[in-house]
Chain A
Amino acid sequence: MLVRAHLSIFLQQVLNGLVLGSVYGLVALGYTMVYGILGLINFAHGEVVMVGALCALSAMTALQGSGLPGFAVVLLALLLAVLACMALGLAIERIAYRPLRRAPRLAPLITAIGISILLQNLAMILWGRQYHSFPPLLPVHTLHFGGASISTVQLAIILVSGALMAGLLLLVHLSSLGRAMRATAENPQVAGLMGVNVDRIIAVTFAIGSGLAAVAGVLVSANYSVAHYYMGFLLGLKAFTAAVLGGIGNLAGAMVGGVLLGLIESIGAGYLGDLTDGFLGSNYQDVFAFLVLIIVLVLRPRGLLGERVAERA
């Protein structure tokens, strides 16, 4: 009996970890795609997640009384958030990174932080400092199995994230656009000789990453039913950790890193109280992400799936 209770608690932590990890994975993809192609960390990426969530929130609030069915409102809000974030991603690239393409590496890092602060403050002005709760537009059910439970929202998070990740992998590995993206990541000059408009490929990369970030923002806000102007900071930092854990620049790595980090956090937080004899509680969950970041950077800086510096003939 006791064993079964333990098992179901463990199963619950794994489910929670998968939900959390899917979101980290979606956001981590944005970091890793941009790093892969430009070699820079887009530290404003977390803020794009936040903008996505808040845009969706505003759209939902505006559409709520329109008489449209809840499902349509959610989809429409999601679509608007994705489009808004794609536009934002393109603007960030154009304003903060493209002019600095040939500058020392520190320069775009500083503009990234600048954009991040700017977006946080703009969001604070536009949406206020308070926590916004997502309107309950869809009926939420809870499914039980094996003593653990998962809500339909959480299930949707895992499924949507999984589908988007699979779609991205297919795009990058099987389409002509994806081939051009990989070629540009490896050698932009030679890609240009093949007729690839490198600026356009970089813009597309930002647009895709930002679109994924918007979905992640909506998903995470739907899960916790809350959004606010500061939510992108910690989420972005953790997703960055996930990207580093998986091997920055590697798409599959970002997904694996995201899910792994979600599991570590969730399971770690679930048992932290027991492990420390009640000294530390599950509110110390955030510690794990940064513990992982430090351990990876010390022991395996190229991450789990990261390659050694690629051979260039």
Chain B
Amino acid sequence: MSLLRVEGLKVSYGGIRAVKGIDFYVGRGEMVALIGANGAGKTTTLKAICGLLRPVAGTVTYEGRPITGAPSYGLVEQGLALVPEGRGVFARLTVAENLLMGAYLRKDRAAVALDLEHVYGLLPRLRERRRQLAGTLSGGEQQMLAIGRALMSRPRLLLLDEPSMGLAPLLVKKIFETVSGILRQGVTVLLVEQNARLALEASSRAYVMEGGLITLQGASADLLSSEQVRTAYLGE
């Protein structure tokens, strides 16, 4: 059974039909990539899944339940966490406070404290800076913080929106290693990326979006070697 299933999704954004009817699914425990150029409708798709945008048509099913158009604040309780594009850390809260916001709905204080330690272990830089305001962190550290914050909700499905955006290659590598580690711990990941090569190397399956539609799909390894993807997205 798939963890997330999107069927016939159409979304308008700012008066423009940004997603024109797409179908895809994410199976439990896998990392699926949604790649495509800027403006292809990838972020809009994520926002519609998370209830930040109301779809015009189509359904989103998570763990067998319809969540189409459900308010975003209810989803985190069901194990769905989004790391938004541009990180969206709370600049005027400290690093530790940002992480605790990720666990906002959890009542199990002891387990939250353990998870906090776990995140600090995974991302030691955050421990060093836990008392600093998040706005003073570098871009890479903010991305780490956004991922750590999402983990604090103990998600079963992690949605990542452009985690490599604006980061130096070395940092991007580090972020992707972290995400792979999260995947190995059993969290399902839906990755939206402009950096097609990285996304295809990290994921098991991928969908290619173009102009609001899914134009290609398949195993990531196959897509990496496909002529079409190589010329259009890998710059070869």
Contact = CB atoms under 8 A, between A and B. Distances in A.
Contact of B72 (A182, A192, A312): A192
B92 interface: yes
Contacts of B82: 193
Contacts of B149: 194
Nearest to B145: A313
Contacts, number: 82
Interface in A174-197: 176, 179-180, 182-183, 186-187, 189-197
B86 A313 contact: yes
Given A176-B104, A194-B102, A195-B73, A310 B88 contact: no
B91 A313 contact: yes
Contact of B97 (A179, A192, A197, A311): A179
A161 to B, nearest CB: 26
A195 B77 CA distance: 7
B135 A313 contact: yes
B176 interface: no
Interface in B84-126: 84, 86-93, 97, 100-102, 104-105
A197 to B, nearest CB: 5
Interface in B130-144: 134-135, 137, 139, 142
Given A194-B73, A195-B74, A313-B89, 6 more contacts: A180-B104, A186-B92, A187-B88, A191-B90, A194-B153, A195-B73
Contact of A186 (B50, B84, B93, B104): B93
A194 to B, nearest CB: 5
Given A182-B93, A183-B90, A186-B90, A192 B73 contact: yes
Interface residues of B, number: 33
A20 interface: no
Interface string A277-313: 0000000000000000000000000000000001111
Contacts of B137: 313
Contact of B81 (A180, A193, A196): A193
A185 to B, nearest CB: 8
Interface residues of A, number: 21
Given A193-B84, A313-B139, A179 B101 contact: yes
Interface in A23-39: none
Nearest to A185: B92
A179 B99 CA distance: 11
B72 A193 contact: yes
12 contacts: A183-B93, A186-B91, A187-B90, A193-B72, A193-B82, A194-B73, A194-B104, A194-B149, A195-B105, A196-B101, A312-B135, A313-B87
A237 interface: no
B52 interface: yes
B224 interface: no
Interface in A182-219: 182-183, 186-187, 189-198
Nearest to B138: A313
A193 B89 CA distance: 11
Contact of A190 (B90, B97, B135, B153): B90
A196 B104 contact: yes
B88 A197 contact: no
Contacts of A189: 52, 72, 84, 88
